[in-house]
Amino acid sequence: MKRFILVLLPLAMVFVFCAKAEKASIFGDNSSPAPDFTLKDLKGHEITLSKYSGKVVFLNFWATWCGPCKAEIPDLIEAYKQYKDKGMEIIGISVDRIGPKSVLKFAEKYKINYPVVMSTDKILKDYEPGPYVPVTIIVDQDGKIRHRHIGYMNKETLKKYFLELKEEK
């Protein structure tokens, strides 16, 4: 029994230290200021990143033809409903080339409840989402880029990022 405890205790300590290290490394200390932008959403409203100061902003680069993008939309919708009033903002940035009217029809069909804008060369250059979608760039309450999540994001992962950043303040 003593031998079991002697083996179990160091393993438990390693687990605790790894869990703390994992939490610290989710965002890291390599934050940089998020470039401000002003774009019109699909309904003509102006969206300016700096107006979301004090909120955790998820910049979700996506496309209508992307399977994983379509799959994550219901989770983004649910998370936005649940956390919008608690300081979460999601901005969908469509990289489609089909035009805003077609993207608006898609957004209405999927009942997207968060703002959606069309990407521009400048925003793609400033944020460098890369060649794949979906990509979600997470901006903290101070306007700093804290994480780049490549690929599908479910509601639990979105919630985890949001709550951890909210906890920092």
DSSP for residue 63 = -
Instruction: Name the pTM for this structure.
Output: 0.82
Asked whether residue 6 is domain-assigned, the answer is: no
Q: How many domains does the chain have?
A: 1
Kindly report the CATH number assigned to the domain that includes residue 126: 3.40.30.10
Q: Is residue 65 part of a domain?
A: yes
Give the pLDDT confidence of 55-94 residue by residue, as tens digits. 999 999 999 999 999 999 999 999 999 999 999 999 999 9
Which domain range does residue 164 map to? 28-168
E strands in 16-143: 32-33, 38-40, 46-48, 56-62, 88-94, 116-118, 135-139
